[in-house]
A and B are shown apart, each in its own frame.
Chain A
Amino acid sequence: MKHTISVLVENHSGVLSRISGLFSRRGFNIESLAVGPTQDPGISRVTIIADGNDYTVEQIEKQLNKLVEVIKVKTFAAGEFLARELLLVKISAGADKRQEVMTICEIANAKVIDLTVNTMTLEVCDKFEHLKRFEDLIAPYGIIEMVRTGTIAIQKGADVIAAKK
């Protein structure tokens, strides 16, 4: 089962390697990992999508909490959070295919961000499952290159993950 885990960490160099090292040496499967700054310059936020049963997730949480630079760990319950991922994809599509692709983009809430005679570069930002569907739709045109950011997530409603003072 897939789990979405948000981790607040000290914005120090080396933190990411401690986290990724922990996952590999403890045999945890990581599907994606995204990291970036937060409103507090001293804190970064890591979003991890990991695969495993309840035991594994408990172990991941506990082992992450043992890292001194980890401030807070939260595994989201299903339906509790909003998740987004950004996908950039370059496909081969000449003049004859452009209109079709743009129709798909319009329905899928994607944008054309670059264009050449033979290629189109598309951008879509949505949930993981939606990106998968979009990829399937666009694949027949011939994907030349694809890049994704990994999922980031935030709680629904007024709840937040706050660092203890």
Chain B
Amino acid sequence: MKITAAQAMAKCLTEEGIKVVFGYPGAAICPFYDALMDTDIRHVLVRHEANAGHEASGYARITGRPAVCIATSGPGAVNLITAIATAYADSVPLICITGQVNRDQIGSDAFQEADITGAAEPFVKHSYLVSDPAQIPRIFKEAFYIAGTGRPGPVLIDVPMDVQREVIEYKYPKSVDIRGYKPTVKGNPYQVKRVYAALKESEKPLICLGGGVFTGGAVPEVLELARRMQIPVITTMMGISAFPSDDELFFGMLGMHGCKTANRAVNDCDTLFLVGARVGDRAVRTPLALEKTTKIIHIDIDPAEIGKNINVDFPLVGDAKQVLTQLLEIAEPCRHDSWFADLTALRTEKQFAEVPEGTVNPKRFIDELSQAMPDDSVICADVGQNQIWTCTDYRFRSGGRFVTSGGMGTMGYSLPAAIGAKLAAPERSVCAICGDGALQMSMMELATAVQHDVNVKLVVMTNTRLGMVRELQTKGYDDRQTAVFLDGSPDFVKLADAYGIPALRVTDEKTMKEAISKLANSDERMLVEVVVDKDFATL
């Protein structure tokens, strides 16, 4: 079949089952936009290219499949980079399609020319600058395969405008064969046995779940293994909601902002079983001390993560679901009663501090919100204090999902990610939680939600400060506070009103109950501003 390369690009997306794309057009990507009109693919017009990437990221995290974002050449492409880096840090599969100037103009500093494959190189799993239009079908097939398999990540396809216009013979390849890319999925059977033996022998084993549990789709297997072998479970920030927090085996999130019980568990355990967790510096501050006292088992699909941040006694390369299934085939029930009792004794009842009149305790708000929201809700936290409050106080039950920018810590991620998540799962309740700093980095996406009728809920915690930096300055810089005051911010309730979005302000118990009830029981778009004391601590 003879069609233009632009039509081929659109057709490739259809072949890959793409229903929604997120983007922002410009001259260099117009041929592709024109071709998209003749497909059933829904285009979501964002208000800034970075948010196209974040929306695709939220979408991909919920579907577990690569999602597509589109930008034009030059500034459009460069604006995408933050989203590409954010997705790369959290192993989210994205296909980023950018327009490029005509082939004969490349390298001439033409209008809206940017070397995007060069600029994005540190943050992509792979990238293509398409010089031969005939290669479009192969490149798209490969890109989806690379983005979605192994350790997922963003793949960039940069297509010059004249390439998009050329007519090619279109045939979508059935399979992919890339000799330099063969991810290991199945765990080495011998190593699986050794890991099982180590777990069985251990008196104080601990499972630590990372984001790899979601990318591997291993949530049920983790639950089964932990229950059968009675092993306590903690998570990294990326692993939150991979294990129900109301389960007696669950002991919280570890790390710098984690809970005491989880960190004590890491220190006291004799065997630490890492599943798709990379031992980032915010999770384990002193890996050298830990590896001396503790047997480390590490399952990861990316061999480069094993032994990178911590020395490992039992490395096991493979897909979390596959490897855990292999373990479940041989695992027999066992108990660790005294260890479990030790950890249980460390649990403390939550206590919420009194707060000044006219404000609410944000941790209490989140705790109560989590009890009211449907079990399968998707909660997208931003970055900063709001993120830590959500991590520590939202109690995810089975079926719930937490989404945040864990690795890169990209402010402004929550609202676009929530829009993407809601489009991926319209039947689920999706709520973004952010601060007044983060919201002002992506509040233009309120228009996207309205235009495309996406019923996301947004909780904005306002303390007129960049709270986490303020706290850092208080503790580490002799309380010399600078550049953290958000004076000049809009009235967020009026702002929502300007977009036609219903909004509430929470300043006391009564308005809190009212807001939580609305957030939990209606599927309407809404914004809830939660007024927080300026000095309220992160932990």
Q: Is the pairing of A and B real?
A: yes
Q: A residues engaging B (CB < 8 A)?
A: 9-10, 14, 17-18, 21, 25, 55, 58-59, 62-63, 65-71, 163-165
B126 near A62 (CB under 8 angstroms)?
A: no
User: Which of B118, B121, B178, B180 is packed against the most chain A CB atoms within 10 Å?
Assistant: B180
B126 near A68 (CB under 8 angstroms)?
A: yes
Q: Report, as a range, how many residues of chain B touch the other chain.
A: 10 to 19
- Residues from chain A with a CB closer than 8 A to the CB of B146 are 68
27 inter-chain pairs at a CB distance below 8 angstroms, sorted by A residue, are A9-B180, A10-B180, A14-B117, A17-B118, A21-B121, A21-B122, A55-B307, A58-B307, A59-B304, A59-B308, A62-B304, A63-B304, A65-B304, A66-B302, A68-B125, A68-B126, A68-B178, A68-B180, A68-B181, A69-B126, A69-B180, A70-B180, A71-B179, A71-B180, A163-B179, A164-B179, A164-B182
Kindly provide the distance from the CB of B370 to the nearest chain A CB, expressed in whole angstroms.
37
- Residues from chain B with a CB closer than 8 A to the CB of A163 are 179
- Distance A165 CA – B129 CA, assembled complex (angstroms): 25
Kindly provide the distance from the CB of A162 to the nearest chain B CB, expressed in whole angstroms.
11
- Residues from chain B with a CB closer than 8 A to the CB of A55 are 307
Q: B residues engaging A (CB < 8 A)?
A: 117-118, 121-122, 125-126, 129, 146, 178-182, 302-304, 307-308
- Residues from chain B with a CB closer than 8 A to the CB of A58 are 307
- Distance A68 CA – B182 CA, assembled complex (angstroms): 9
- Residues from chain B with a CB closer than 8 A to the CB of A70 are 180
B122 near A62 (CB under 8 angstroms)?
A: no
- Distance A25 CA – B129 CA, assembled complex (angstroms): 22
- Residues from chain A with a CB closer than 8 A to the CB of B308 are 59, 62
- Residues from chain A with a CB closer than 8 A to the CB of B180 are 9-10, 67-71
B178 (CB) vs chain A CBs: closest residue: A68
- Give the contacting residue for A25; candidates B122, B179, B302, B304; CB below 8 A: B122
- Residues from chain A with a CB closer than 8 A to the CB of B182 are 164
For the complex with contacts A68-B146, A163-B179, 13 further pairs of A-B residues with Cβ separation under 8 Å are A18-B121, A21-B122, A59-B304, A62-B304, A63-B304, A65-B303, A66-B302, A68-B125, A69-B180, A71-B179, A164-B179, A164-B182, A165-B179
- Give the contacting residue for A17; candidates B121, B179, B304; CB below 8 A: B121
Kindly provide the distance from the CB of A29 to the nearest chain B CB, expressed in whole angstroms.
18
